[in-house]
Amino acid sequence: MFLHSLPELSDAETRSISAENPTGEKGRGAMEAPDERSPASRLGKGWKVKPCVTLPKGETVKLADIRGSGFIRHIWLTVDAKAYRNCVLRFYWDCEEKPSVEVPLGDFFANCHGLRYNVNSIPIAVNPSGGFNCYFPMPFKRSAVITVENQWIEDIGGFYYQITYSLEEVKDRMAYFHAQWRRSMTTRQNPQHTILDGVKGSGHYVGTVLAWTQLSNGWWGEGEIKFFIDGDTEYPTICGTGTEDYFGGAWCFGGETFSTAFLGYPLYRREPGEVPRHTLYRWHILDPIRFKKDLRVTIQALGWYPDRKFQPLTDDIASVAYWYQTEPHAPFPVLPPPEERWSR
């Protein structure tokens, strides 16, 4: 799957953007000159002078501004955990005005609730301690712009990042990468969270991350995920059999967490004085969900009453949906302000 093409030669040109080479241009890395306060002051240029940047409060920093055609191949970054829900990542393809990706920074890498923990999967990996990695290939034909906005009340220093990309021809049938964050409080009258809605165009759905804050005792994951494809209204084309089933587990996960190549339940946290919090991911890499006109995705919040009947739950659920589609994409819902994204 991943290794068969490694011996094949290519005309693609590899470039990488970081604080040491903010434009990614050929032969333009490690050019910053150290001052007397720099740890590299005795060594001079070329010796880790500018490995990171500061994110000023209330401002948007442009991490990448790439012209031409190619693919984002790998994104790595690390920063203090206070940035996870207070900073927003946005990706723009081919000079578009509205982003195709708009997600709180930590949630994009499946580190939800503003918490740090490891994730051991193929497209997203979070390694000790807080090294965020993304391997979703992201094609662009004219340009790619990646920004991060600091919506926290003060500057956030020590933002380290590296964005590796290839400059090469992109085939006409390549779709564009998208990701969207949503949050809702389910109710007994409507125990359902919308993961994605309003998608217009053709493409395929490739991943789900859920940040589930449990507000009721007992088992919380009896609800079904549903994919409404190409004109489905009341009833979906794809319907799961339960929350833990969709994420590749069974029987309430047996009380265990796990993190695998395509499915995971990397976080179950229940500290004294806290409500239980969970994070789950499912990557549709080998089983993408194809749509030709439109797509809507929902998940139910169900538990059990003592009489063995389903109990509609009032829970706090946030999600990230990942998909590829043709452009232009439909407008995203307005991203809630930081105080509506905090988990505590």
Pair 80, 105 in one domain: yes
Pair 189, 150 in one domain: no
Transcribe 107-136 into DSSP letters: HHTT--TT----EE-SSEEEETTTEEEE--
For the stretch 201-211, pLDDT in tens is 999 999 999 99
Pair 104, 160 in one domain: yes
Which of 127, 149, 167 is at the close of a domain?
Answer: 167
The number of distinct structural domains making up the chain is 2
Strand-pair partners of 291: 203
- Residue 6 belongs to a domain: no
Residue 234 burial (CB < 10 Å; 0-12/13-18/19+)? Answer: exposed
- Residue 312 belongs to a domain: yes
140: domain range? 13-167
Nearest to 14 by CA among 97, 92, 79, 70: 70
Pair 210, 318 in one domain: yes
At 166, give phi and psi (nearest 5°). -120, 140
pLDDT exceeds 90 at position 88:
yes
DSSP state of 274: S
Pair 121, 264 in one domain: no
Count of CB atoms situated within 10 Å of the CB of 50: 17
Mean pLDDT of 234-258: 97
Q: Looking at residue 153, which CATH number applies to its domain? A: 2.60.120.1390
Pair 197, 117 in one domain: no
Residue type, 290: R
- Residue 106 belongs to a domain: yes
- Residue 7 belongs to a domain: no
Which of 167, 198, 233 is at the close of a domain?
Answer: 167
For the stretch 10-64, pLDDT in tens is 999 999 999 999 999 999 999 999 999 999 999 999 999 999 999 999 999 999 9
Pair 297, 162 in one domain: no
Beta strands in 152-201 (DSSP E): 156-167, 176-185, 192-200
The mean pLDDT of the chain is 97
Which of 139, 167, 195 is at the close of a domain?
Answer: 167
Pair 257, 152 in one domain: no
CB 124 within 8 A of CB 171: no
